[in-house]
Amino acid sequence: MNEAGLIATGLCFRYGKQTLLDGLTLEVPRGAVTVLLGENGAGKTTLMRLALGLLKPRAGTLRVLGLDPLRKPRAVRERVGFVPAEPDAPQWMSFDALCRFLRPQFPRWDDARADELAVRLRIPRTRPFRTLSRGEGMKAMLVAALAPQPELLLLDEPFAGLDPLARDEVLGGVIGALRDEGRAVLCTTHDLDAAARVADRVALLAQGHIVRAGALADFAGSGSAGSTEALRAAVVATIREVQPCG
């Protein structure tokens, strides 16, 4: 299957009187990591919840792996992995119990992959989530999202709370492997260093729509040295351009 991971066209969404998405258009291709940047409240998490069929847009179209998430929510969720900004597993549940709970819901669940990643990321397997640090909880949720072998992975602030070693492992090993396998990855983060290291493509969300999108090199230059600062400068400059005067 060669359809894009996600294609949004003219997507609009309001929460009460607040417009979060206002004509958003974005494509998340396979075989690439797309990093979505934007301020808190810009609508990044809203886009992911729309992609999972948990919210309904007011206007526009959204296709996830060629499917309408509102018409085919189960089919979409079987093929999409999602790591929320905060671990949302029941606090009494352990990682192993979470895997047992999720396994029957995903036809492509891979126990061997879950075991390998749990060891690699040093996840406590039998302790309840309430006893885990935020970083341990995030790693557990990441592995639970990867075990079903998703074709599209949605990562909402996945690096927050990770220790440096785990952060490097997730950036270089886990996410890099997904790219190499031809899967699509959409990642939101405020960590511009992580964005500069992992992104193939960058999209900047402001005022409800994508104000700039392209290859990382278009934002930060082709060299790795100074790419974080170059990306930061490009983001700040773009935000200033689109902000209304006065």
Q: What is the DSSP string of 79-145?
A: HEEEE-SS--S-TT-BHHHHHHHHGGG-TT--HHHHHHHHHHTT--SSSBGGGS-HHHHHHHHHHHH
What does the pLDDT look like over 122-174, one tens digit per residue? Answer: 999 999 999 998 888 989 999 999 999 999 999 998 887 777 877 777 777 67
Whether 98 maps to a domain, the answer reads yes
Q: What is the CATH number of the domain that holds 158?
A: 3.40.50.300
The pLDDT of 29-42, averaged and rounded, is: 91
> By residue range, what is the domain housing residue 20?
6-242
CA distance 182 to 188: 19
The pLDDT of 170-182, averaged and rounded, is: 77
CA distance 89 to 181: 27
pLDDT for position 223: 53
Whether 237 maps to a domain, the answer reads yes
Q: What predicted TM-score, i.e. pTM, was given to this entire model?
A: 0.90
User: Structurally, how many domains does the chain consist of?
Assistant: 1
CA distance 119 to 113: 10
213 or 221: whose pLDDT is higher? Answer: 213
Whether 126 maps to a domain, the answer reads yes
Whether the per-residue pLDDT at 246 is higher than 60: the answer is no
What does the pLDDT look like over 43-59, one tens digit per residue? Answer: 999 999 999 999 999 99
Residue type, 79: R
pLDDT for position 108: 94
The pLDDT of 14-41, averaged and rounded, is: 92
Burial (CB count <10 Å: 0-12, 13-18, 19+), residue 49: middle
pLDDT for position 244: 60
Whether 1 maps to a domain, the answer reads no
What does the pLDDT look like over 49-91, one tens digit per residue? Answer: 999 999 999 999 999 999 999 999 999 999 999 999 888 999 9
pLDDT for position 225: 46
CA distance 116 to 125: 12
Whether 70 maps to a domain, the answer reads yes
For the record, the structure tokens of 121 come out as 């990321």
pLDDT for position 222: 57
pLDDT for position 171: 77
